[in-house]
Structure 1
Amino acid sequence: MKVIYTDKSQIIASKVAENLGAPLGEVKKSRFPDNEIYIRADGLDDRTVIVSSLPDAESIVELLLLIDACEGSEVSLVIPYMAYARQDKRFNTGEPISIRAIAQALSRGVARIITVNIHEPDVLKYFGVPAVNISIAPAVGEYLAKTAIENPLILAPDDGAWPFAQGVAADCGWDCNHLDKTRHSGVEVSIRQKDVGVAGRNVVIVDDIISTGGTLTTAAEMLAAEGARSISAACVHGVFSGGGYARLIAAGFSQIASSDTIERGCSVISAAPAIAEALRR
């Protein structure tokens, strides 16, 4: 078995290979004069693991080319971060179900697919091959246990993220709760006052994804007003679009941690051990 990668997933792919005890292949990427992408994967094996997060449209094109380059090899595709996973419904006539279109395209030429804390697990049905979603909530909890945050209150920004928060808190037996969030648009949210006992507590807000940071900023304002001792954040996928990371720092977050599904400066949690274990299973 050989592990290969797309350009923006080199680090997590190398960690997956290390955890598997498998060789890391070389993938060459260049461009033609008209800016088209050229891909070449050297020394493919009979079985190949492709590790490819999809933070943008170009990564999707690169992955499609890499899958085609692996023709003749049994491919296990690992998608640590799946773009378009939140575009899973059609609200108006003429709109695509974007995740369906991408999932179906990526299914051609692969034997199985593994995703990591995909935003809506129901979208796995759109893949044309067996697909499983794994959670690294325990790894987030393990990381927090090693920090200087004493007896944290693990808080989900809404009830949808509560199961993830419970997974983070479970092994250490930390207190866990959730806020009441209402989303009004893609960028506008409101959070209702809710007594979650934050006064004097070290609060860690956890979620599968931090995009613009707007939800967490709104939550932090309310928690600070209620007397939280400190406010930190931890997530799986650190998108931080539109200045999201800086927005959280300005809002008073003392620590911000994400995993390496998207490679950031704050990627201090690795999804690689959980991915390797899923591949072994």
Structure 2
Amino acid sequence: MRLFALNGSEHLGGAVAKTLGATLDPHEERDFEDGEHKARPLVCVRGEDVYVLHSLAGGDGASANDRLMKLLFFLATCREHGAERVTAVAPYLAYSRKDRQTKARDPVTTRYVAQLFEAVGTDRIITLDVHNISAFQNAFRCETIHVDTRRLFVPVVERLAEGQPVTILSPDGGGVKRAQLLKEHLETDTDLKMGFGFLEKRRSRGVVSGDLFAGEVDGTVVFVVDDMISTGGTMLRAATACRERGAKAVHAIATHGLFSEGVEALFDSDAFDNIVVTDSLPAAAQAKTGHPSARLEIVSAAGLIADALKRLRDGGSICDLLGVES
């Protein structure tokens, strides 16, 4: 097994390697003055089972497109030089949000990205909590591994709830299934009294609307659950609605902390008692450093990713990591 982490993903890659009891394999990356680049492994990959880790969100001067191309080219290079199998480990997979046509002549970018991975000879792709798991699985013809992060948040919810009644809330209708699954996991693993709710949300040409609030949050500790936080507008809208309806405390939970431009309003707001994300993206650690007063907590996904790689390497079962019944 060979494990590489491309530039910008070294911290998470190193943590995964350490959990596996290994070290990252060395590689070289060079950027040229005209914006082109090259990357190559510095160890022989012929006949090897190769895993390449790279999260595909823009930041630190590299766009999502830059990161996607670097990952694709590196996978292709390993295949070119005789790797027996190449697996892309993209904890955050770019373009997963655009998985269907909602306007005339819209792209279906999720499918196009899948075709790019397949074109360079990718055997398997591993990711954490994509926006729409059905669209992800249907877009790819190669093997897909969708690692579920719910287990990472169970002890967080139990600790922050402090034994009080809990409401799990989806900030929009599209995330209802995700929130329901976390609620079911908590009901199985904890003794907390659980409630459920969701908000109506429609977005058209950048305008968000919808007034329906389903669920009872009065006197409960609310956990607003989503797959990602970008500017934080959706989360703030949900938190404000919960506060207006008598919630004792409101916490945000999301796998991916993109923390894009405009997220300062989220960090400066008193609407949330805590914001909890994983380290799937370096933006989380950067936000914690850049906004020291923000109530931001980061839980590591390294052990979860390492567990998936170990099981794949050793031929073990990964059903429980995927959040599906065996």
TM-score clears 0.5: yes
Distance across 2 between alignment mates of 1:186 and 1:101:
23
Partner of 1:118: 130
Query: Does residue 73 of structure 2 align to residue 65 of structure 1?
Result: yes
Q: Secondary structure at the match of 1:235?
A: strand
Change (3 A) 1:92 1:165: closer
CA contact (8 A) 1:203 1:232 kept: yes
C-alpha displacement at 1:63, in angstroms? 0.6
The worse-fitting range, judged by mean Cα deviation, of 237-246 and 52-61 is: 237-246
CA contact (8 A) 1:158 1:178 kept: no
Partner of 1:137: 150
Change (3 A) 1:59 1:2: same
Partner of 2:322: none
CA contact (8 A) 2:167 2:197 kept: no
Task: Give the share of equivalent positions with the same residue, in percent.
Answer: 30
Query: Does residue 249 of structure 2 align to residue 230 of structure 1?
Result: yes
C-alpha displacement at 1:20, in angstroms? 2.5
Change (3 A) 1:117 1:179: same
C-alpha displacement at 1:255, in angstroms? 1.0
CA contact (8 A) 2:279 2:300 kept: yes
Distance across 1 between alignment mates of 2:180 and 2:202:
22
> Aligned AA for 1:109?
G
Distance across 1 between alignment mates of 2:297 and 2:37:
28
C-alpha displacement at 1:27, in angstroms? 2.7
**Number of equivalent positions:** 281
Partner of 1:246: 265
Distance across 2 between alignment mates of 1:86 and 1:166:
20
C-alpha displacement at 1:270, in angstroms? 2.0
In the alignment, which of 77, 95, 111 is matched to residue 84 of structure 1? 95
Query: Does residue 278 of structure 2 align to residue 259 of structure 1?
Result: yes
Which consecutive residues of structure 1, in runs of 5 or more, have no partner in the other structure? none
In the alignment, which of 204, 220, 226 is matched to residue 223 of structure 2? 204
Q: What TM-score do you get using the length of structure 1 for normalisation?
A: 0.89
C-alpha displacement at 1:245, in angstroms? 4.9
Q: Which has the higher contact order (CA 8 A, sep 6+)?
A: 1
Distance across 2 between alignment mates of 1:110 and 1:239:
26
Partner of 2:42: 42
Partner of 2:171: 157
Partner of 1:276: 306
Change (3 A) 1:267 1:248: closer
> Aligned AA for 2:5?
Y
Q: What TM-score do you get using the length of structure 2 for normalisation?
A: 0.78
Which consecutive residues of structure 2, in runs of 5 or more, have no partner in the other structure? 58-63, 286-295, 317-326
Change (3 A) 1:47 1:227: same
Q: CA RMSD in A?
A: 2.3
